[in-house]
Chains A and B, each alone.
Chain A
Amino acid sequence: MGGHSNWPEWIYVGVIIALMFWVGAEAWNVERLVEHVPADAEVIKVTGAQWFWTFEHEDGTKEVGTLHVEAGKAYKFEIYSTDVNHSFNIHDYVVLMDAVPGRVNTVWFAPDKAGEHDIQCREYCGLIHYNMRGKLVVEEPST
């Protein structure tokens, strides 16, 4: 305590606050853009169950474990769970959203190149959580 001058600390705190403002504003702006789902996005229903993923396309095609999509299109995932919490994750495309029973969460992505990517569960879901894995196959556009 006491009356000694403390201006270096106030400058330092000011710099931190300014930095945090910058981080917050930047994050707010990026997240706002990322969450804007394109209107023409195709809906894919994703269902997590202990311990596998099932996918249902708009045309009714169902897939288990492996998901086929086309490059250059936007997809919106509707994520369901039938038992406990899971988290649907395609790490290469920063797709991450929890599958919570009783809720429908959405997340979207637009693959840009053909290729194969890992799908995994990132929320603890029990015995085989470590192996609740799948494959995303991005194919060349058909038309």
Chain B
Amino acid sequence: MVLELQKPRPVWQIMFSTHHTDVGLLYLIMSIAFLFMGGALALLIRAELFFPGAQMIADSMTFNRIFTVHGTTLIFLFLLPSASAVGNYFVPIMVRYKDMAYPKLNAIAFWMIPPGGALIWLGFADFTWYATPPYSIISAPGPAADMWIFGLKILGISSVLGAINFIVTILKCKHPDMSIGQVPLLAWSFLSSSLIVLVAIPTFAAALLMLLTDRLGVTGFFNPAMGGDPIAYAHLFWFTFHPEVYVLVIPAIGMMYEIIPRFSRKPIFSKSSGIFAFVLLAIVSFSSWAHHMYATGMSFTEKTVFMIGTLAAVPASGMHVFNFVATMWNGRIKFLTPMMWSIGGIALFFSAGAGGVANAAMPLDFTTHDTYWVVGHFHLFVMGTIAFGTIGFIYYMFPYVTGRMYNENMGKIHFILSFIGTILVFFTQHVLGLYGMPRRIFDYPAIPEWVAMNQIATVGAMIIGVSMIIFLINLIHSSAKGKPADIHDPFGLGGKYYYPFESKNPHH
């Protein structure tokens, strides 16, 4: 099986290659595979919650394992690697270098992910993607929990290696004629998110080790019975994983910066404000981690500080939205599939951000915290913004990767169904949260509002499921039988706004 159909090569040549587009292709295929695996788990969860009582899942332990692996898979094995796929393809080309700075390190970073993913899937832990102590220390069954810890450890190292590679490629390997301000926004987004990874991940790496030794009974960092404090874990975890949200969001926004000006056939409204907002987001991403912890018994002062830190991220996010709208303003917009996904992604980004402001306000957080509001809120980011941006970009790079065009009508149907489904699932979940339904529950009492809203959400999820099957068919069918793309201007936009397709680094 060979996907780069213009010059077919045996699959092992791609697998053992260190060339950036080959590694990018591996990242892409693997992340799409995990998208479907994690998505299947989501459909199981939604099907189970269609009615109160046990439906298809036998017991709550299985249910808990399913949502744990669902979250872990889609964050670490779909969102992160799919961003790396795009970065691998385009960052070296955008900084006009022949490859990533460290090609072998790049391949190693990729090949760490399948074993990490295998550990998570073979273990199937049950302690949520947050690995909540002291539950994860004293109650969670092994070896699933230990496998999850080792899996995450491997994935964490992989993303640090990837981040080092992106930073060095952009800062040190860019063409000497190119100033840092001339580096395109997509590459800037990888620079910003990689810097966040370097600062954020080590904290969680330490916390994972501490969790493991706690489970072994050697230490008691997070175990109150041995003098530890579970809240310490919460700080370490969120110090990594609130910034991690921005690690995921920033490349997705970078992808929209690539798509929107081209399909509007206008230059970006203000590139400098885009760069400024990326850097600002990278900095303020570290000022808000404890807004996940208002209800753990924090003092009023602590809560106030983290509320301010959270609200500080809003202007920078708003600048991106402004930039997108101002770029589209008076543009000759061509509504092809990648553009539709980007516009949908911006709309949902705005909604997610507005909901986030409500969460950040201390008194309101006590209504929404740990309810389905939160589930709806962060899914609007991870699905509505990040996955939308990424899927749009997958359509956009499809001709570049395969030399063929995807089916435009199927792409549009995919978008429309996904957009409707996303709104049905996640807007409804916000309201469900206001009615008080907690997250992470296998079964719920038959309160009429809860039942109705769970059913709407399940219908929405099934619509997304159908749209994703259309996506898969489109990808497979079009990469084998799609009509050959005009590689200089596959979307018929006029060459001026279309440069990445012009250059391709030769294999070495």
A8 to B269, CA, bound (A): 11
Q: How distant is the Cα of A16 from the Cα of B441 in the complex, in angstroms?
A: 36
A103 within 8 A of B: yes
B314 within 8 A of A: yes
Contact of A28 with B362 at beta-carbon distance under 8 Å, contacts A1-B181, A35-B300 already known: yes
Q: List 22 A-B contacts (CB under 8 A).
A: A9-B269, A9-B273, A9-B319, A16-B314, A16-B318, A27-B360, A34-B363, A35-B300, A84-B134, A84-B138, A91-B367, A96-B366, A96-B370, A98-B295, A101-B224, A101-B225, A102-B228, A103-B297, A118-B436, A123-B132, A123-B370, A124-B440
B contacts with A: majority SS: helix
User: Is there contact, CB below 8 Å, between B361 and A27?
Assistant: yes
- Nearest CB in chain A to that of B179: its residue: A1
User: Which residue from chain B places its CB closest to the CB of A29 in the assembled complex?
Assistant: B363
Asked if B139 is at the interface of the complex by the 8 Å CB criterion, the answer is yes
Interface presence of B13 (CB below 8 A): no
In the assembled complex, the Cα of A2 lies from the Cα of B225 at a distance in Å of 61
B300 to A31, Cβ gap below 8 A? Answer: yes
Any chain B CB within 8 A of the CB of A100?
Answer: yes
Q: Which of B56-86 contact A (CB under 8 A)?
A: 60-61, 64
A125-139: contact bitstring with B at CB < 8 Å (1 yes, 0 no)? 111111101000000
**How many A-B residue contacts, CB cutoff 8 Å?**
153
Nearest 5 CB-CB pairs, A to B? Answer: A102-B224, A91-B436, A105-B297, A27-B361, A130-B441
Partner of A24, one of B64, B139, B307: B307
A9, A91, A133: the one contacting B270 at CB < 8 Å is A9
Residues of A close to B17: CB separation below 8 A: none
What's the minimum C-beta distance from A122 to chain B, rounded to whole angstroms? 4
Interface flags for A23-37 (1: CB within 8 Å of B; 0: not) read 110111011101100
Asked if B494 CB lies within 8 Å of chain A CBs, one says: no
Is A56 an interface position by the 8 A CB rule?
A: no
Cβ A94 vs Cβ B367 within 8 A: yes
Chain B residues near A143 (CB-CB < 8 A):
none
**Chain A contact residue count (CB 8 A cutoff):** 52
CB contact under 8 A between A9 and B139, given known A1-B272, A24-B311: no
Interface 0/1 of A83-117, CB less than 8 Å to B: 11101010110101110111101100000000000
Interchain nearest-CB distance for B323 vs A (Å): 8
Contact of A27 with B364 in the complex, beta carbons under 8 Å = yes
A13 within 8 A of B: yes
Q: Is the CB of A105 within 8 A of B361?
A: no
Q: Is B33 engaged at the interface, CB distance under 8 Å to the other chain? A: no
Q: Give Cα distance in the complex from A106 to B128, angstroms.
A: 26
Q: Which residues of B contact A87 (CB under 8 A)?
A: 295, 370
Task: Determine how close the nearest CB of chain B comes to the CB of A57; give it in whole angstroms.
Answer: 22
A121 at interface, CB cutoff 8 A? yes
Q: Is the CB of A129 within 8 A of B441?
A: yes
Contacts of A9 in B (CB 8 A): 269-270, 273, 319, 322-323, 326
Contact present for B297 and A125 (CB under 8 Å): no
A interface residues (Cβ-Cβ under 8 A, vs B)? 1, 4, 6, 8-9, 12-13, 16-17, 20, 23-24, 26-28, 30-32, 34-35, 50, 83-85, 87, 89, 91-92, 94, 96-98, 100-103, 105-106, 118, 120-131, 133
Contact A84 B363 (CB under 8 A): no
- Residue of A whose beta carbon sits closest to that of B312: A20
Q: Is B438 an interface residue (CB 8 A)?
A: yes
**B134 and A101 contacting across the interface, CB-CB below 8 Å:** yes
Question: What's the minimum C-beta distance from B260 to chain A, rounded to whole angstroms?
Answer: 16
A8 contact from B295, B326, B435, Cβ within 8 A: B326
Known interface pairs A89-B438, A118-B436, A123-B370. Does A101 touch B230 (Cβ–Cβ under 8 Å)? Answer: yes
Min C-beta distance of B237 to chain A, whole Å: 13
User: Is B357 located at the chain interface by the 8 A CB criterion?
Assistant: yes
> Are A13 and B60 interface neighbours, CB within 8 A?
no
Q: Which residues of B contact A97 (CB under 8 A)?
A: 295, 297
Q: Smallest CB–CB gap between B272 and chain A, Å?
A: 5
With known contacts A30-B363, A31-B363, A118-B436, A20–B311 Cβ distance under 8 A: yes
A84 CA to B307 CA, complexed, in Å: 27
**A130, B442: Cβ atoms under 8 Å?**
yes
Check A131 against B443 for contact (C-beta < 8 Å): yes
The answer for the CA separation of A35 and B362 in the assembled complex, in Å, is: 11
Which A residues are CB-close (under 8 A) to B297?
97-98, 100, 103, 105-106
Tell me, in angstroms, the Cα distance from A106 to B444 when the chains sit together.
27
Alpha-carbon distance between A127 and B436 when the two chains are bound, in angstroms:
20
